[in-house]
Amino acid sequence: MTCSFCNALVWKGEAIGRPTHSSRKLFAICCQQGRVKLPPVKEPPSSLKELIDTPTYRKHNRLLNSLLAFTSMGAKIDHTVTGTPGPFTFSVHGQNHHRMGSLLPADGKPPQFLQLYIYDTANEVENRMKSMSRGESKVKVDEKILEQLIKMLDLNNHLAQTFRHARDRYESGTGEEFNIRLISQKQRGRQYDLPSAMRLSA
Indicate the domain borders of the chain.
Answer: 1-41, 46-199
Mean pLDDT over residues 34-62, rounded?
88
DSSP for 4-69 reads TTT--B--GGGEES---SSSPPEE-SSSTTTTS--PPPPPPPHHHHHHHTSHHHHHHHHHHHHHT-
Out of 8-22, 48-62, 88-102, give the one with best mean pLDDT: 48-62
Which strand (E) or helix (H) includes residue 155?
Answer: helix 143-156
Closest-CA residue to 31 (of 43, 39, 42):
39
- Per residue in 118-139, pLDDT tens? 999 999 999 998 887 765 556 6
DSSP for 64-107 reads HHHHT-SSEEEEEEEGGGTT-SSS---EEEEEEEEE---SSPPT
Q: How far is the C-alpha of 177 from the C-alpha of 29, rounded, in Å?
A: 44
pTM for this one?
0.68
